[in-house]
Chains A and B, each alone.
Chain A
Amino acid sequence: MIQFRNVNKSYGKKIILNNLTLDIKAGEFVILIGPSGCGKTTTLKTINRLIEPDSGEIYIDGKDITKVDPVKLRRTIGYVIQQIGLFPNMTVEQNIAIVPKLLNYKKEEIDEIVRHLLELVNMPYEENAKKYPSELSGGQQQRIGVLRALAASPPIVLMDEPFGALDPVTRDSLQEEIKKIQKKLGKTIVFVTHDMDEAIRLGDTIVFMNEGKVLQMASPEEMLQNPADPIIKSFLGKHINNENSNANLVASDFMRAKVLTVSKTKKTLECIELMSRRDVSSLIVVEEDDTYLGTVSVDKIKAQGKAGRQIAELITVEAMTVNRNSNAQQAFELLIASPTGYVIVLNDDNTVAGLITKTSMAKAMGEALWGEMTQ
């Protein structure tokens, strides 16, 4: 159990921790999150006395940490940083063994710890122990960084944005591993992040900080349901929004706005040329005032079209259409039923607004579920 009692810290005039009082239960995965400068990293670093508060007390299991020698204190608390900080002059094995060595563990005991820990993250001893950090990928390096922190079985592990510099795939798998390890070994983990996804995924308890104070301390579920402050709400952003917004989605949210339309006066060969250049198999045909007429497919032009003739005579009207403001679910059902595999979205004045395809639908649903997609 880690207790903060009225902890204050400022640099010059800037207040970093403002009378912070906080209890962290033993065995919990606790996330410190908040906007930059909110004091989350400072809070973390006061626990192992890398930063000394100006006033207030911090207790670990009832003991005032200022009464413990900082070097000894730190050997009983694991520490993982974003930049990993594996010592490049030491092998994987030597890096993991540092703290046990500082604590004068026996050699056989250290060997066993190293083997056991490497097994824990599926990095076989034989393949990895003698490697240098520079020979490992970023994800593997941070796995070793975590193992180094765990080596002397500290009951508490502090992690300062440990996965912030990793690619999303690696980050995902490390998050999963650390959560497993935490459960298995029953550690108290204090974890700083600015990523709400990560917080919700990992945390038993999320501590939301702002301006050196705790704004809300709650389980992820509770924080999602009752965010205590507008700032928290905006941090939760997409996680909250999607619940209300599903109902409001309309057809135009699902469509691709950039579509190819041709006037009905275009000639057959021009159209074939256009389709092959854009790599599509049909075109949307519009009147001269841009209102929707129908579609024309490459097969139909090839089968019935004559060179030099206008495409107006080849138009079919089998494609489904939907008004841009109609309900998204209706558009979805039309798309599933559509023989052409797409639904044409029309504006109120019957001009073409866009096209719903299976791809655009999947993308829009993905965004509604998981937030803005980057690609």
Chain B
Amino acid sequence: MTMTYSEFFTKHSNEILKAFLTHIELVLISVGIGVIIAVPLGIVLSRHKKAAKYVLMIAGVIQTIPGLVLLGAMLILMGIGKPPAIAALSLYAVLPILRNTYTGILEVDDHYIEAARGIGMSGKQMLFKVELPLSMPSIIGGLRLSTVYIISWATLAGMIGAGGLGDMIWTGLSTYETKYILAGAIPSAILALVANALIGFIQRGITPKGLRMGR
């Protein structure tokens, strides 16, 4: 109990690293699933604006369910381990990406659409050559938001045996051991900051060059 912080971190470095990697894995898989669901769904919704209203409403409701409740529900449905945690986190990842994809496409100026149609682009060509490139900054913005959320919410996943940095935090909480809590909290905070900066960097890189210059 009289270990210093540096002694603690040296002794548990393997454990922390493992938790850190598991955490990243949880985040990557959940956000990945989120993207796979949200981007195509956002594109479809941009073609069906009436349906979009209801779908976005439902997604919004899911977003308001407290993380613990959703994890609990997944625990009942799927047992313990990574799968229920990933299922819950993926659901959370969907909304920001979905909303940004949908509004990003809708916000593409009408005259680009008219020009694209008028010069003879098919619907698919219009989507891939005009609508998606022009809404890319918005979509990546959604991805950034989702990723940062999921990094913090993934700490809850430790509760249902999914591992990750949340494990350290829960251990610390149940044994009144501050060092464990910090060993979980600090890396996850750093991870969130780095991910935010990294995606911001990618966002600037992926924005079509012509859009970056002041219009």
Contact of A88 among B121, B122, B129, B208 (CB under 8 A): B208
Tell whether, in the assembled complex, residue A79 and residue B119 are in contact, meaning their CB atoms are under 8 Å apart. Answer: yes
Write out the residue numbers on chain A whose beta carbons fall within 8 Å of the beta carbon of B209.
Answer: 89, 132
Inter-subunit contact B121/A132 (CB<8 Å): no
Chain B residues whose C-beta falls within 8 Å of the C-beta of A86 in the assembled complex: 115
- Contact status A90-B210, CB under 8 Å: yes
Which chain A residues lie closer than 8 Å to B211 at the CB level?
88-89, 134
| A interface majority secondary structure | mixed
Given that A134-B210, A134-B214 are contacting pairs, would A89 and B122 also be in contact in the complex, using a CB cutoff of 8 Å? no
Interface residues of B in 120-136 (CB under 8 A from A): 120-122, 125, 129-130, 133-134
> In this assembly, does A302 line the interface, its C-beta being within 8 Å of a C-beta of chain B?
no
Chain B residue total in the interface (Cβ 8 A): 24
A88 touches B215 (CB 8 A): yes
Once the chains bind, are A99 and B213 in contact (CB under 8 Å)? no
Q: Judge whether B7 is part of the interface by a CB distance below 8 angstroms.
A: no
Bound: A135/B129 CA distance, A = 20
Task: Report the Cα distance A85→B113, complex, angstroms.
Answer: 8
Contact B210 A88 (CB under 8 A): yes
Give CA–CA (A84, B129) in the complex, Å.
17
Within the complex, what minimum Cβ distance (angstroms) separates B127 from chain A?
Answer: 13
Contact across chains for B112 and A85 when beta carbons are under 8 A apart: yes
Query: Does A74 reach chain B (CB closer than 8 Å)?
Result: yes
Interface extent on A, as a size class?
A: 20 to 34
Report B-chain residues with C-beta under 8 Å of the C-beta of A98: 119, 121, 129
Evaluate contact between B213 and A81: CB separation under 8 angstroms. Answer: no
Contact A71 B214 (CB under 8 A): no
In residues 47-97 of chain A, which contact B (Cβ within 8 Å)?
48, 50, 71-76, 78-79, 81, 83-91
CA distance A51 to B64 in the complex (A): 44
Q: Is A220 part of the binding interface, using a Cβ–Cβ cutoff of 8 Å?
A: no
- Choice from A72, A83, A99 contacting B119 with Cβ under 8 Å: A99
Min C-beta distance of B209 to chain A, whole Å: 6
C-alpha gap A152/B115 in the complex (Å): 15
Note all chain B residues with C-beta closer than 8 A to A90: 208, 210
Which residues of A are in contact with B by a Cβ distance under 8 Å?
48, 50, 71-76, 78-79, 81, 83-91, 98-99, 102, 132-135, 148-149, 158
Residues of B bordering A, CB below 8 Å: 109, 111-112, 114-122, 125, 129-130, 133-134, 208-211, 213-215
A-B pairs with beta carbons under 8 Å apart, 18 shown: A50-B114, A50-B118, A71-B120, A74-B118, A75-B119, A78-B119, A81-B115, A85-B115, A86-B115, A87-B112, A87-B116, A88-B134, A88-B211, A89-B133, A89-B211, A102-B125, A133-B210, A158-B118
Known contacts A50-B114, A83-B114, A102-B121; 8 further A-B pairs (Cβ under 8 A): A79-B118, A81-B111, A87-B134, A88-B215, A89-B209, A89-B210, A98-B121, A134-B213
